[in-house]
A and B are shown apart, each in its own frame.
Chain A
Amino acid sequence: MTWFSLPALLGGIVIGFSGLLLLIGVGRIMGVSGILNNLLSKKGMTDWRLLFVVGLLISPWIYDVVIGSLPSVEVTQSVPLLIIAGLLVGIGSALGSGCTSGHSICGISRLAPSSLIITGLFMLSGGIAVFILKHLIGG
């Protein structure tokens, strides 16, 4: 294990720029769960949220064309686990008013106490889930 990862730092800087751009360009916080939730409930087809989601969806293609060699990804989780996890993430983000992008990046950067606390809770229960899954069940 290496302690420092330059790609992680640089990728993080790019993610930070995307949040900065949305905040000072559109005046909105980059929170993906809220964007998806609002997109589905009431907004029209020319909404900024739809364009943001389209940008995210085609990013792998742009990455492949511009940067090249898209890193290979394998999702090994079973379908029932994906469904349970998706439900928990949906319920949790709706109750907690946000997900990792909105709270852990945008919320912390404006020093919102609720975002700092919920980020700690994400990591605590996430750590417990991984511990149970990988070390107790051995999945």
Chain B
Amino acid sequence: MRLIIPFISGLLFGVGLLYSGMADPQIVQGFLDPFGDFNPALLWVMVGALSVSVIGVIIARIRRKTLLGEPLLFPVNSKINKELVLGGLLFGAGWGLVGICPAPALVLLGRGMWEGAIFILAMIVGMKVVAYFKR
């Protein structure tokens, strides 16, 4: 079960991204373009996703353990500081430029599109750059 659950979760995430249109960079950019060909799809994806994941948070808070009885690792809330603000702004700029973020990039790669691989490699380099300077 420990191995099946994360696999099914990844699978469902990818299927949800494909069905909702979020694996299509044009649809994502459409949401970020209120002065152009605006497409509200991302808003409805968030409404659907949040309405379900809130239930998960409530279950997790009540049970305090996973379904398998293991400890739940709730993240410590990240601090609201310059790093968070700068990180958010840089992430959004990259996201807007191509309409791709980490999960859809993996889905693009999964359907054999080399654009997904290029994006992911560049993203990993970016992560490593930050890790290097944070040491």
Contacts and interface: CB of A to CB of B under 8 A. Distances in A.
Interface of A: 1, 3-5, 7-30, 32-33, 36-37, 40-41, 46, 48-49, 51-63, 67, 70-71, 73-77, 79, 81-101, 104-106, 108-110, 112-115, 117-131, 133-135
B73 to A, nearest CB: 5
A58 B6 contact: no
Interface string B3-30: 1011111111111111111111110010
Contact of A108 (B35, B50, B68, B89): B50
B12 A12 contact: no
A130 B29 CA distance: 7
Contacts, number: 479
Query: Which bucket holds chain B's interface residue count?
Result: 35 or more
Chain A binding surface SS class:
helix
Given A51-B6, A86-B118, A15 B87 contact: no
Contacts of B17: 11, 15, 59
A131 B125 CA distance: 26
Instruction: Report, nearest first, the 5 A-B pairs whose CB atoms are least far apart.
Output: A90-B126, A59-B14, A11-B20, A55-B10, A12-B48
